[in-house]
Chains A and B, each alone.
Chain A
Amino acid sequence: MASEMAQPGFWARVQRASVERLHIRLESLVVLLALSAAMAVLSPFFLSLSNFLNILLATSTIGVLAIAATFVIGSGGLDLSLGSVMGLAGVAGAFVAVNLGWPSVFAVIACILAGGLAGYINGQLVTRAFVPAFIVTLGMLGLARGLALVISQGRAIYGLPAAIVYIGQGRPFGIPMPVILLVLTAIVAHCVLAYTRFGRHTLALGDSEGAARAAGIRVEHHRRIIYTLSGALAGLAGLLFTARVNAGDPTAGINYELTAITAAIIGGTNLFGGRASILGTMIGALIMGVLQNGLTLLAVQSYYQQMAIGAVLILAVFIDQYQVRKESRV
């Protein structure tokens, strides 16, 4: 056994096992650990429980959006409207709770419903009107943001009820509520993507639409469900954000789709569909969280953080495509 360990193929075998069994790319885990180690060396504040929870809390919104991006991109689609739909959903929830004065549960439903509806419209347009997903969701990015500003008349809606604020600021057992909700969402999403027929069909669809169609999968129907799901998850992200900052902010989530898509791609989602894992995406989201947190601790201006995220996205896709070209005959 010992001699086998020494063989050059060992690393390759570990890699393959991690991809096949755990559905994650080992490189992303290495990057996360290396990045954390670097931040720990550079900043004395990085390694602490409170900062760790901070990172998780800051990652919760992006994490939920990244799960949505994973499903959509894994199916060979694209959703650029995630950040705007998140903003719209938060405003919709705040409007229902504050302006209409309805019970909190309706505000929660309004968030998810507003997001789901936007996603449903995306799905309808992509599959029935044959407008490319890139254009449909880019249009929705503008539509949803504009509608959020219209509903809120351009101002943040304050005065949310305590029950809603608890979703964003509550800390049962010392763990922030958004973190708990992210973990629960991720577990469910992971099981759906990795172990159900729906998840397998999602990846098959992203891999080869023709093969999926020939196998009898109802391709258009499946895509509509995925876009609706993506919107509903953006709605959940909007709820988490609104509850955390205690306001329905119509400008919430600007550029979040950039971070969410980057997290999904770093986590091993194939940009063109067919390969994706929620576990990987969570690692990707944590990388983004650690990067932003570390740069903040190091007092790097937030403008540079934007640049860092953009550069990481391009780098991640470059590395992924390089490996695909090297390994496969596709």
Chain B
Amino acid sequence: MTLLSLHGIRKSFGAVDVLHGVDLSVAAGEVVGLVGDNGAGKSTLMKTITGIYRADSGSIEFDGKDILTLDPGQRRELGIEMIYQDLSLAKQQDVAANIFLGREPTKKLFGLFPGIVDKAEMDRQAAKMIERLGAHLPSINRSVGSFSGGQQQTVAIARALTFNPKLVIMDEPTAALAVREVQSVLDLIRRLRSEGIAVILISHRLNDVLSVTDRIVVLRHGRADADLVTAKTNMNEVVSRIVGGGDTSAAAAHEQRG
């Protein structure tokens, strides 16, 4: 069952064309790797899916609905979450505030004044989510700016998973992590797949992509240049598609070691 389908997505910034008509589809519970050189348009493409950017033309359907004109908040409501490379955290706010940003639960004060943020409920659910991820944070009431990179990553992941998403987009989730933390992110991706949640993984670490995805889409010069089934491809082919042919065995061997 197709969860997300993009057709002919174009996006340019002024005179610079970034996306030249991208087609991409993701099935429910499928893990798709999105790879490509720097400047291939990966992040731009993802931001047109989350609604941060509005595509110039083309169509985006999610769960059978046309979402092209929806804003980021509305797309989150439908179940699209993204973990940004810069994590997009409000660093002076605490853990719960970040996890529930834009979706704070409210209660009535004295049964009278509506719209009062239910901080206790937020803290409770945030603690539960952090625990479910098997992570340890010094304190849930501390501003996230005081945490380490890995801990901040945990908060960003918790935010993406708290509201039962159908699709989670991860932009370089392992780039800044220690070895053990990388493994836990990969395990998390496998767990999401088993729960029927689709994942789009953007990563330069091709070993990670090959080990965890079902399919690999190569973005090149603003087009989906190749669509490879992970089980039927190898490092050599992926590298060759990224750089656009030629003898790439040396580069592939390097990645393999990497």
Contact = CB atoms under 8 A, between A and B. Distances in A.
B158 to A, nearest CB: 13
Chain A binding surface, main DSSP class: helix
A218 B73 contact: yes
Nearest to B104: A197
B165 interface: no
Chain B binding surface, main DSSP class: mixed
Given A196-B116, A200-B104, A211-B101, A216 B74 contact: yes
B243 interface: no
Interface string A275-300: 10000000000000000000000000
Interface in B13-47: none
A212 B92 contact: no
A200 B146 contact: no
B88 interface: yes
Nearest to B91: A330
A20 B95 CA distance: 13
B102 A201 contact: yes
B91 A328 contact: yes
A217 B100 CA distance: 12
B188 interface: no
A196 B108 CA distance: 11
A221 B103 CA distance: 17
Contact of A214 (B50, B97, B119): B50
Contacts of A216: 71-77, 102-103
Contacts of B97: 200, 204
Interface residues of B, number: 38
B90 A207 contact: yes
A203 B98 CA distance: 11
A208 interface: yes
Interface string A181-213: 000000000010001110011011001101111
Nearest to B97: A200
Contacts of A329: 145-147
B90 A197 contact: no
B52 A213 contact: yes
A195 B90 contact: no
A200 B117 CA distance: 9
A215 B75 CA distance: 10
A217 B117 contact: no
A216 B145 CA distance: 21
A289 B117 CA distance: 33
Contacts of B12: none
Given A197-B115, A216-B76, A216-B102, A207 B91 contact: yes
Interface string B55-92: 00000000000000001111111000010101011111
Contacts of B102: 201, 212, 215-217
Given A196-B117, A197-B115, A215 B76 contact: yes
A274 interface: yes
B13 to A, nearest CB: 15
B170 to A, nearest CB: 13
Contacts of B73: 215-218
Contacts of B104: 197, 200
B76 A274 contact: no
A270 interface: yes
A266 B109 CA distance: 30
A148 B89 CA distance: 43
Contacts of B71: 216, 218
A281 B53 CA distance: 37
Contacts of A213: 52, 72
A327 interface: yes
Interface in A102-119: none
Contacts of B72: 213-216
Contact of A270 (B50, B76, B92, B98): B92
Given A203-B92, A207-B92, A214 B146 contact: no
A241 B61 CA distance: 57
28 contacts: A20-B141, A195-B109, A195-B117, A196-B116, A197-B104, A200-B97, A200-B117, A203-B90, A204-B90, A207-B90, A207-B91, A208-B88, A208-B89, A210-B88, A212-B90, A212-B101, A214-B50, A215-B88, A215-B102, A216-B71, A216-B73, A217-B102, A274-B90, A274-B91, A274-B92, A327-B146, A328-B143, A329-B147
Given A214-B50, A215-B103, A216-B75, 15 more contacts: A20-B94, A191-B113, A196-B117, A207-B92, A207-B93, A210-B84, A210-B86, A214-B72, A215-B72, A215-B102, A216-B72, A217-B73, A218-B73, A329-B147, A330-B92
